């Protein structure tokens, strides 16, 4: 690998276009997209884990017919796999430049993938409400999903727009205009990730407030959901992991692509990749199809139209609440999950 002091050995054409002429043996890493060589083993491990999670999500989603949840998880995991395969390629050549690579690293995957995962989380949590008690929730299940999925779409659009602007800055002839365009793109991406942090934080507040209302009312033991051993709190670790990742991503982007956080591999693998692996792992091991034990469909609602459909969901929720008080803790769950 070339040393960081080898600029004098490089021709002007190489310095002007390192993506086309540089290799690890001829150019310093300061000319590369990132200031380190991505780990082959680490990125291959993450790509493999996401591949395994994708297989599990497809099997469980199709088997339990959790179509909306499956759609978000499928989109997010596929984009994560694309990202880590791109990083494996960068292990051999971190000097690659151009709009395609920038789209892969900063638009298609690192920013957009968690937005798809968040949408699935919002759908899952909105289904929990009817299972416990709609009357104890501050909002209706449909309102939760509509509110937070809308926030997710706004965050996704901001990050996509910012990523597009930043990735095409290389096509600008004037260096001053290129820097200005890239900074504009980064600022828009920061706004998108910040909005995602805000919406996830708001979700956490509402979710824990709902849990507190249940405990206060003495309705049901939060350690049990749909007759399985999965806890409400454990399911809440998935959005927490995405939240931590989004806070890190926001701080990373604020410094720019050449900032310290963007060029630390250990920090990236832990707070970016590691948090998403934890989130997807939790949502696969404790998949809604498993933990809801058939109650996912009964907790259903529609985005469009209030009508009798949502009123049925509320009525069923109230009926189950009454059954809980009648049958008691353990005996109730056997009775309830047969319905």
Backbone torsion region of residue 22, taken as left when φ is above 0, otherwise alpha when ψ lies between -120 and 50, otherwise beta: beta
Given a contact cutoff of 8 angstroms between Cβ atoms, the answer to whether 88 and 311 are in contact is no
The tokens describing 320, both together, are 């189950």
6 Cβ contact partners less than 8 Å away, ≥ 6 residues apart: 27, 28
For residues 163 and 185, the answer to whether their CB atoms sit within 8 Å is: yes
Is 1.10.3470 the CATH number for 49-336?
Answer: no
DSSP code, position 227: T
List the chain domain ranges. 49-336
Model-level pTM?
Answer: 0.82
- Per DSSP, 37 falls in state -
- Longest CA–CA span in the chain (Å) reads 83
Burial of 323 (0-12, 13-18, 19+ CB in 10 A): middle
Cα gap 272→265, rounded to integer Å: 10
Per-residue pLDDT of the chain (339 residues; tens, 9 = 90+): 444 445 667 777 777 777 777 888 888 888 887 889 999 999 999 999 999 999 999 999 999 888 989 999 999 999 999 889 888 888 888 887 654 555 556 556 778 899 999 999 998 888 888 777 777 788 888 888 889 999 999 998 998 888 778 777 766 666 667 778 888 988 999 999 999 999 999 998 988 888 888 777 765 555 545 444 445 566 778 999 999 999 999 999 888 878 899 899 999 999 999 999 999 999 998 888 887 776 676 655 555 445 444 555 455 555 555 554 444 444 444 444 444
């Amino acid at each position: 690998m070339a040393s960081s002091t080898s600029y004098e050995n490089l021709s002007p054409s190489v310095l002007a276009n390192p993506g086309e002429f540089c290799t690890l043996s001829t150019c310093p890493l300061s000319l590369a997209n990132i200031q380190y060589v991505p780990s082959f083993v680490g990125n291959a491990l993450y790509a493999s884990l996401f591949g395994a999670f994708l297989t599990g999500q497809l099997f469980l989603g199709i088997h339990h017919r959790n179509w909306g949840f499956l759609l978000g998880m499928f989109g997010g995991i596929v984009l994560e796999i694309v990202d880590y395969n791109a990083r494996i390629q960068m292990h051999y050549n971190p000097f690659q430049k151009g709009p395609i690579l920038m789209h892969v690293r900063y638009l298609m995957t690192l920013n957009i993938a968690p937005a798809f995962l968040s949408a699935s989380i919002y759908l899952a949590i909105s289904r929990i409400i009817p299972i416990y008690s709609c009357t104890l929730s501050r909002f209706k299940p449909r309102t939760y999903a509509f509110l937070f999925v809308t926030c997710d779409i706004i965050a996704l659009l901001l990050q996509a727009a910012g990523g597009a602007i930043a990735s095409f800055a290389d096509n600008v002839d004037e260096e001053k205009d290129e820097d200005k365009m890239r900074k504009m793109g980064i600022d828009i991406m920061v706004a998108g990730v910040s909005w995602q942090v805000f919406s996830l934080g708001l979700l956490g507040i509402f979710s824990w407030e709902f849990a507190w209302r249940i405990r206060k009312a003495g309705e049901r033991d939060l350690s049990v959901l749909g007759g399985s051993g999965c806890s409400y709190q454990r399911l809440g670790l998935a959005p927490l992991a995405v939240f931590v990742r989004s806070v890190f991503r926001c701080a990373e982007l604020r410094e720019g692509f050449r900032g310290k956080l963007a060029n630390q591999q250990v920090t990236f693998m832990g707070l970016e990749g590691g948090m998403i692996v934890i989130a997807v792992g939790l949502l696969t091991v404790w998949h809604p199809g498993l933990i809801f034990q058939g109650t996912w469909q009964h907790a259903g609602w529609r985005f469009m139209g209030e009508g009798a459909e949502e009123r049925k969901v509320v009525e069923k929720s109230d009926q189950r609440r009454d059954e809980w008080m009648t049958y008691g803790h353990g005996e109730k769950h056997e009775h309830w999950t047969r319905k």
